[in-house]
Structure 1
Amino acid sequence: MESVPLVLLHAFPLDSRMWDGVRDLLKPITPEQRGGGRSPDLMVVADDVLRLLDERGIERAVVGGCSMGGYVAMAVLRRDPSRVAGLVLADTRAGADADEARANRLAMAARVEAEGVGWVPDTVVGGLLGPAADAAVVEQVRELISGQDPAEVAWAQRAMAVRPDSTEVLASVDVPALVLVGEHDALTPPALARELVAVLRQGEYVEVAGAGHLTPMEAPDAFASAVLDWRHRVGV
């Protein structure tokens, strides 16, 4: 039995339902990451995560996330590393956005505010999923995106656009860390994931065959098994 709880933070532009395929095996805590009209800064939701741990009487947890959720996990680490017993970083990166990526985020935020989210699935789903993604997964991702609040989508894009580089934060922490990446992840590819592992003092690498950027949805059994095996081996 694992000694500490597992917190998993969802990707953009999704919500905690993206973890439904791994709930039975991993028993994670899966908070929503919502700006709620507050300043666009991922530290806002990192503080929400820490507040949730306080409310549940949890001193330390394994904190993980997919894509944007990974950025929030790094923000939690930046805010209070003493609360993090281990890291699970899936399809994410340590670096801040380059100028072009930042501009694209801000442009998307403005368009979503003006037009809503109806156009977003057609724009992003192809980049989120691997080429062999199951049709049911494609439809599920489309539905999750279509159900998001435009204000929250815009908030998240602006918050990610201003996030700092987390390389030094990750290099400074000495806890077990698992880095997972889809074989066909076009947004944070395996080469980038291997660079992330190299930064970590206790980093391990798992490549999920056939998956794209949303490994917990595209290959839930492989994702959950990798996390369980790692937790048992490293003792968190």
Structure 2
Amino acid sequence: MERRSQEGLPIRYVDRGEGPALLLLHGFVGSADYWERVVPLLEGHFRCIVPDLLGHGESEAPSGPYTIEQLADNVLQLLDSLGIERAVILGHSMGGYTALSFAERYPERLLALGLVHSMPLPDDEAGKEKRTAVAERVMREGVRPFVEQSAPNWFAPDNAKWMKPELERVMGIGFATKPEGAAGAALAMRERPDRSHIIRELELPVLLIAGDEDGIAPPQKAFAAENAHTVKHVIEGAGHMSLFEAPQELARHIASFVERL
């Protein structure tokens, strides 16, 4: 998808469609292109704004470590630059962590919040050690070995076997991530706090989407917190990447949620 830029803004973004503002945030070693099969299904009804988060895609990739708060602040800067007062913000995986940080500090800028294959829980000690190892590995070896090893695990087992074009596309997007960006973001995820209370206390609608075969953010973690306005969906046969495994079903859940606001 073609990117745009704003002077003084370190991130580039896609801006397509008209209607209520729907901001879509991608996951780790992804880019706006993670949403390339979903946006065409939504842009007829919503204005889809899809940034490359800091360190990813065509955005700047300064040396890290980054913080999740920093990623969220970039999102705020993007909304300000576009003159958008309030938006629905949906985040996939790392994008969900970013959306939660945004909701914690700028709730007045939200119409609703959504987590797609994400969760409000922090890393445990073993998870933090893995983040450190990933950051060190990508700086030592580049991003390609990590993506080649990891990407098949982001799909449900059967999908990893049979969805070869989709898997190759996800890997290709990952290969374009600069090592500094991947390392900086890995360390940002390592330090994120528990934000379960943000969902519980948010007086806005919340959409939670999980894959029943997601080994990274399974339903019990994805649904670890909810409020009185929470809508939950489990996508059958999907792993961590329904954006490629089941884009039509994902887009249907998103559209239904936003249209009810």
Is the TM value for this pair above 0.5? Answer: yes
State the SS of the aligned residue for 2:113.
Answer: strand
TM-score, scaled to structure 2: 0.85
Aligned partner of 1:206 among 224, 233, 243: 233
Residue in 2 aligned with 1:231? 258
Moved more, 33-42 or 182-191: 33-42
How many residues are treated as equivalent by the alignment? 232
Aligned partner of 1:156 among 185, 191, 208: 185
Moved more, 110-119 or 64-73: 110-119
Deviation digits for residues 176-219 of structure 1, max 9, x if unmatched?
111111121111112222323xx323111111121100111211
Q: d(CA) in 2 for partners of 1:31 and 1:59?
A: 17
Aligned partner of 1:13 among 25, 29, 51: 29
Asked if the contact 2:65/2:187 (under 8 Å) is kept, the reply is no
Bigger RCO of structures 1 and 2 (CA < 8 A, at least 6 apart): 1
Q: d(CA) in 1 for partners of 2:18 and 2:193?
A: 32
Deviation digits for residues 143-171 of structure 1, max 9, x if unmatched?
11112101100001000000111111221
Q: Please tell me whether residue 41 in structure 1 is matched to residue 61 in structure 2.
A: no
Structure 1 pair 2/192, CA: closer, same or farther in 2 (3 Å)? farther
Q: d(CA) in 2 for partners of 1:193 and 1:110?
A: 28
Please list every run of 5 or more consecutive structure 1 residues that lacks an aligned counterpart in the other structure.
none
Asked if the contact 1:64/1:73 (under 8 Å) is kept, the reply is yes
Moved more, 102-111 or 128-137: 128-137
Aligned partner of 2:207 among 154, 178, 181: 178
Please list every run of 5 or more consecutive structure 2 residues that lacks an aligned counterpart in the other structure.
1-16, 56-61
Q: Please tell me whether residue 31 in structure 1 is matched to residue 39 in structure 2.
A: no
State the SS of the aligned residue for 1:29.
Answer: strand
Query: Greater helix percent: which structure?
Result: 1
Deviation digits for residues 85-142 of structure 1, max 9, x if unmatched?
1012111111111000001100110111111112112321122111232111111111
Q: d(CA) in 2 for partners of 1:22 and 1:140?
A: 14
Q: d(CA) in 2 for partners of 1:132 and 1:224?
A: 22
- CA positional deviation for 1:39: 4.8
Q: Structure 2 matches for 1:185-196, cutoff 5 A?
A: 185-196=214-225
Identity across aligned pairs (percent)?
A: 31
Aligned partner of 1:67 among 90, 93, 112: 93
Asked if the contact 1:184/1:212 (under 8 Å) is kept, the reply is yes
RMSD over aligned Cα atoms: 1.6
TM-score, scaled to structure 1: 0.93
